[in-house]
Every structure is written in structure tokens, then in C-alpha cells.
Amino acid sequence: MNYTLNQLRIFQKVSQNQSITKASEELHLTQPAVSIQLKNFQDQFPIPLTEVVGRKLYLTQFGKEIAVAVERILNEVYAMNYKTLEYGGKLAGRLKISVVSTGKYVMPYFLSGFMELHPGVELVMDVTNKSSVVEHLENNAVDFALVSVLPNHLKVDTIKLMENHLYLVGSPHVVGSPKKPTLKNLDKAPLIFRENGSATRMAMENFLKKRQIEVSKKIELTSNEAVKQAVLAGLGYSIMPLIGIKNVIKTGDLQVHPMKGLPIKTNWNLTWMASKRFSPVAQAFSEYIIAEKQNIIQTRFKWFEEYPNSID
């Protein structure tokens, strides 16, 4: 056997994602580079590690066992690195965070200062849908989760980070709908929703239900970015978190439409299982957030104040 740490890391990511494409994205490598290293790793074993069924990649039973061993080996390598830093008096270890898709516009600003203070900390941040975030939390796969709606079935502790404001937005060139949406004509406008289970979807549906607005034309998409692109293309209107559309509003490609009952206000919550035993890194991060969150909000998100806080 003559495999390298790089090959082990690549096989680990491929096995976790069951996808060369997703592994390459997380590793910031090209797909051909990942494929070549995966093949080089496979060539050292007489039994297949993966198989493709219906154009989807799966681990074989042997591959699953190798994946467990690879995970153990890499954890030992990381532990060696952390111990070296700890003996030098530095905070070291992994910080694992699972973030709902719209949270990717928030969480990095609460991490950058901490990571600068502690270069020995390795960050693992997974951006995914709400159900996967809650699953990671429940399975103790992460230290923290960032959500706007707390899971009712779990006993969790939380730190409120900042408010999340959702507005009705549309392109100046919406196709075949009211150019100035109001509560009276919103039922005639095509509306673009996130998928079922999304906190943004729930907030939008509650707004419409409370005002007894029946949707005549509904479009459903599975990511915040997909919704944004559809709205930009003029396919319809949507109620979206302001945090993810700042730049396209500034350029005029999207317009905020003031309306009574908007913005919808929720909170971004840094959440963890109440029974969680913090590592030194997780403990340090929670203390950092408590001490610095107001300063981060004032310096990074003051632009929120440019938009109406309520419509009477």
C-alpha cells in the first residue's frame, strides 16, 4: 500500500457525499483531479470501493469498511496536529457547524474574527436544507447549527444572533402580473416558493394564509439561490430574506415592494443540543459569540437600517 493523505482526504469526501462533483466542490479541486486521485487510491485494492448504479455513485460494502478506517486514520492525523498546537499554548481542534442555506450569508461574519484569533482551529461548515441541519444536530454530528426556526422535538440551547427580515421582492420586468403588487392583487401574481419544510416557505405561507390570499399561480424551487434567479428572470414575486439579496437590490435588478405586514421578522439562532458537552474549541466559540455578537451586527449588518422596518 502506498496511498497518500491527499488520497485519503479525497476518498473521505467522495464517500461522505457519494458524489465526485460535490467532493470536488468541497475540496476546491476540479472533478478530473478528484477522479484521478480516487482511481489511484482504488488501484491499490483488488476489490472495488465504489459502484455506479443509475448514474449515481455508491460505496460497496468493502468501500464502506475502508471509509470507516480512513475516517479513523484522518482523525488521528488531525489529533497529532492539534496536540502539537496545544503544546504550544494555542487553541486547536475542529469546529463543526451545520447551516441552513440562507444562513450562509450570515454565519461567515460571526466566524471570521474567531478564526483569525485562533489559527489552530479547523472549521467544517456544512450548508444544507433545514431537515438535514436538524438531523445533524440530533445525531450529534456538529457542535452548532444555525436555524431561524427552532426544532420543537429537540431539547436545545440557543444564542439569538440577529434578526432575519423577509420582504416581498420582484424584478422590474415581471412577466404577465401586476407591476405594483398589493394585498388586493397579490392573488393574481405568480408567486415563487421554497420547498416544503423550508423556514422561508413557512413564513411566506403564514403571511398569505393570515391575509386569506389564494395563490393562483405557484412555482416551487429547492434553494434560495434558485428562487433569487427565478425572481431576477421575471418569473414572479417571492418573499425572501433581505440578507441574501442585498447586491441585486442595490443594482436595481430586484425591487422591494412595501406591504402591510412586511417585513416578516424571525431570528437567526445559533443552536446546540442541551446535553452537548462542549469541546474547548466549541466552548471558546460560544463565549466569543456572546461577547462579540452586538459588535458584529453593528459593523457588518448596519445596512439593514436602510429598509423599512414596518409598514402600517
Return the C-alpha cell found at 275.
446535553
Q: Are 269 and 146 in contact (CB under 8 A)?
A: yes
Tell me the CATH number of domain 163-266, given options 3.40.190.10, 3.40.50.300, 3.20.10.10, 3.30.2130.10: 3.40.190.10
> Residues 223-245: what's their mean pLDDT?
92
Instruction: Give CA 178 to chain center in angstroms.
Output: 33
Give the C-alpha distances (Å, rounded to integers) separating 46 from 42, 62, 241, 244, 309.
8, 11, 51, 48, 64
Q: Are 285 and 143 in contact (CB under 8 A)?
A: yes
pLDDT above 80 (res 152): yes
The proportion of the chain whose per-residue pLDDT surpasses 70, expressed as a percent, equals 96
Where in the chain is CATH 3.40.190.10? 91-162+267-306, 163-266
Report the distance separating Cα 260 and Cα 186, nearest Å: 12
Mean pLDDT computed over every residue of the chain: 88
Decide: helix, strand or coil at residue 133. Answer: helix
Beta strands 190-193 and 217-220: pairing type? Answer: parallel
| pLDDT for res 144 | 96
Tell me which H or E stretch contains 249.
helix 246-250
Return the C-alpha cell found at 23.
467532493
> Residues 167-187: what's their mean pLDDT?
87
**Cell 436555524 appears where?**
147
> Residues 267-289: what's their mean pLDDT?
92
pLDDT above 80 (res 179): no
Q: How many residues does the chain have?
A: 312
pTM, two decimal places: 0.71
Return the C-alpha cell found at 174.
415581471
pLDDT above 70 (res 13): yes
pLDDT above 70 (res 211): yes
pLDDT above 70 (res 87): no
Enumerate the β-bridge partners of residue 58.
Answer: 51
> Residues 283-296: what's their mean pLDDT?
94
Residues 6+ apart with CB under 8 A from 222: 129, 194, 195
| pLDDT for res 94 | 85
| pLDDT for res 198 | 84
Report the distance separating Cα 36 and Cα 42, nearest Å: 10
Q: Are 256 and 172 in contact (CB under 8 A)?
A: no
Residue 71 burial (10 A CB sphere; 0-12, 13-18, 19+): middle
> Does 136 or 80 have the greater pLDDT score?
136
CATH of segment(s) 5-75: 1.10.10.10
Alpha helices in 28-60 (DSSP H): 31-42
CATH of segment(s) 91-162+267-306: 3.40.190.10
| pLDDT for res 89 | 64
| pLDDT for res 88 | 63
Where in the chain is CATH 1.10.10.10? 5-75
| pLDDT for res 307 | 79
Alpha helices in 1-158 (DSSP H): 5-17, 20-27, 31-42, 61-87, 107-117, 130-138
| pLDDT for res 291 | 95
> Residues 202-207: what's their mean pLDDT?
92
pLDDT above 70 (res 84): no
Q: Are 211 and 135 in contact (CB under 8 A)?
A: no
Tell me which H or E stretch contains 145.
strand 144-147
The proportion of the chain whose per-residue pLDDT surpasses 90, expressed as a percent, equals 52
Q: How confident is the model at residue 86 (pLDDT cuts 50, 70, 90)?
A: low
pLDDT above 70 (res 151): yes
**Cell 436602510 appears where?**
306
